Structure formats: C-alpha cells, structure tokens
C-alpha cells in the first residue's frame, strides 16, 4: 500500500461518507432529539456494522451478496421496512421527544441499535466494501488484498464517523436554539419524510 493510494482514496471516501443517506439523516435526527453526546456515542453502532461488513467481505460472503439477487433483495427489503418504521414513528409522534423517552444508558443503547440496524440492512453499505473500496486496492502488491481492505476500511470508518458527527452536531445545534415545540415537531416530520424518501430510493435500488 502506498501513500498515493491513500491520498486518492481520502477525498472520494470523504464525499461518500458525508452524503445525506439514511444513516446520516438518522444521526441528524438523533442530534436534534437527544443532543450531540448521545448521538455521537450511538455512532459506534454504525461503526460496528461496518466492521462486520469488512469481515463479511474478507471471508467471501460479500461476493455472494454482490452476485446473488435473492440475498440482495432480502437485505434490501429488510432495510426498507426498518426505514419506513423509523420514518413513520417520527412523522406521527405527537411531540419531538415521545419516540425517545428513555434516559441515560438505555437511551444511548437504543440510538446505537438503530444506527447499527440501519447500516446492516442497507445492501449498498455492504457493496461499498465490495465495489467502491476495492477500486483503490493494488493487486499483486506487497500488501495482500485483506491487509489493504482492512487499512482502507478503517480509514473509511473513521471518515464516516467524523462526517456523521457533523450531521449529529448540526441536529444538536438546532436543538440548542430551543425552537418552539411546533417547529421541533415540524423538523422531526420533515426529517422523517426525508428518511421515508431514502427508504423509497432503497426500494428501487438494484445491484450495480
């Protein structure tokens, strides 16, 4: 692995990590509802999902998902159903905190669980490590495919974490402005609607 590889990978990965997908919208929603710290800690759930995905690719199951239409569809529709569930929960909630009334460790665990499930049920996230990252891996070099995948995967997870913290921070800033309950309710419904849109986009996603 060379420095040139990493320098080429960094900007491309940063753009992908910062894009307004389902997970980043969830981080924004968590920040606006629960504040920055719980939302930032909850991102560990997403990171864990990505670590599992890298392991899946290493053992060869990623290739199965990439080539098997049935496996792809099962994971895709599980993700669609879960995103719709989260979206509808946010849209119909009577107040901005009703969906997250738990406190302390239990609340943070619930947020992390959501981050994990949204990431794990998004087949595009798995294909990220089977199609996107391998483009920056040098075949036949000094470092093996596995080593390069682990290094680039770790870099991507770090960038994803940083970008997601930005989304969570944006949500928490809005929360700190102490908008009225009516405006906060409107924000939650708008975010829920955007997540519902992400579910719709996922529903029409096909394997590349």
Query: Does residue 6 fall inside a structural domain?
Result: no
- What does the pLDDT look like over 56-67, one tens digit per residue? 888 876 666 666
pLDDT at residue 99 in the model = 45
Kindly give the interhelix angle for 145-176 and 22-34, rounded to the nearest 10 degrees. 40
Tokens of 184: 């906060």
pLDDT at residue 101 in the model = 47
Query: Does residue 186 fall inside a structural domain?
Result: yes
Mean pLDDT for 88-105 is: 62
Banded model confidence at residue 114, pLDDT cuts 50, 70, 90: very high
Banded model confidence at residue 147, pLDDT cuts 50, 70, 90: confident
Query: Does residue 13 fall inside a structural domain?
Result: no
Query: Does residue 4 fall inside a structural domain?
Result: no
pLDDT at residue 115 in the model = 94
Query: Does residue 107 fall inside a structural domain?
Result: yes
Query: Does residue 138 fall inside a structural domain?
Result: yes
pLDDT at residue 98 in the model = 43
pLDDT at residue 140 in the model = 64
pLDDT at residue 168 in the model = 95
How far, CA to CA in Å, does 8 sit from each of 11, 13, 20? 7, 9, 22
Mean pLDDT of the chain: 82
The parent domain of residue 192 ranges over 23-203
Query: Does residue 175 fall inside a structural domain?
Result: yes
pLDDT at residue 134 in the model = 80
- d(C-alpha 158, C-alpha 162), whole Å: 6
Residue 41 has pLDDT above 70, yes or no: yes
Tokens of 91: 């849209």
Yes or no: say if 167 and 28 are a contact pair by the CB < 8 Å rule: yes
Number of domains present in the structure of the chain: 1
């Amino acid at each position: 692995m060379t420095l040139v590889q990493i320098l080429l990978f960094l900007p491309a990965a940063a753009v992908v990590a910062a894009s307004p997908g389902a997970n980043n919208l969830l981080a924004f929603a968590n920040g606006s509802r629960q504040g920055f710290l719980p939302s930032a800690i909850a991102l560990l759930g997403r990171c864990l999902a990505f670590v599992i995905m890298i392991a899946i690719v290493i053992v060869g199951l990623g290739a199965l998902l990439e080539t098997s239409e049935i496996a792809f569809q099962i994971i895709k529709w599980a993700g669609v159903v879960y995103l719709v569930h989260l979206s509808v929960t946010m849209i119909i909630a009577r107040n901005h905190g009703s969906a997250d009334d738990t406190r302390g460790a239990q609340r943070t665990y619930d947020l992390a669980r959501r981050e994990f499930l949204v990431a794990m049920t998004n087949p595009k996230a798995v294909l990220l490590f089977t199609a996107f990252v391998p483009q920056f891996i040098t075949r036949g070099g000094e470092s093996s495919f596995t080593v390069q995948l682990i290094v680039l995967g770790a870099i991507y997870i770090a960038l994803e974490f940083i970008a997601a913290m930005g989304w969570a921070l944006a949500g928490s800033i809005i929360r700190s402005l102490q908008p009225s309950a009516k405006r906060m309710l409107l924000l939650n419904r708008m975010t829920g609607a955007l997540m519902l849109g992400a579910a719709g986009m996922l529903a029409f996603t096909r394997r590349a």
